[in-house]
């Protein structure tokens, strides 16, 4: 005999197993250089600064 479930798993029990799969929105912080919203611990895409120094050249419009 193979490993076969004896009973159907209910929607509630199945859903309880899947609680940790919910996605959370990314953490956004204010850039201390230009004031734009940016992802935490990443280069600001508006001004190119990270930790107080310019690490990315941004084309000015």
Does 35 reside within a domain? yes
Is the confidence at residue 60, as pLDDT, over 90? Answer: no
- In the 3-class helix/strand/coil scheme, how is the chain assigned residue by residue? CCCCCCCCCCHHHHHHHCHHHCCCCCCEEECCCCCCEEECCCCCCCCCEECCEECCCCCCC
Confidence band for 6, pLDDT divided at 50, 70 and 90: very high
| Counted domains in the chain | 1
- Over residues 8-35, the pLDDT tens digits come to 999 999 989 888 878 889 999 999 999 9
Structural domain that includes position 35: 24-61
Asked whether residue 12 is domain-assigned, the answer is no
Rounded CA separation 61/45 (Å): 14
Give the pLDDT of residue 2: 84
61 has a pLDDT exceeding 70: no
Q: Does 32 map to a domain?
A: yes
């Amino acid at each position: 005999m193979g490993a076969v479930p004896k009973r159907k798993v209910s929607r509630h029990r199945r859903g309880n197993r899947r609680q940790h799969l919910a996605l959370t929105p990314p953490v956004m912080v204010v850039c201390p250089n230009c004031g734009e919203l940016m992802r935490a611990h990443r280069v600001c895409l508006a001004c190119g600064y990270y930790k107080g120094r310019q690490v990315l050249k941004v084309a000015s419009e």
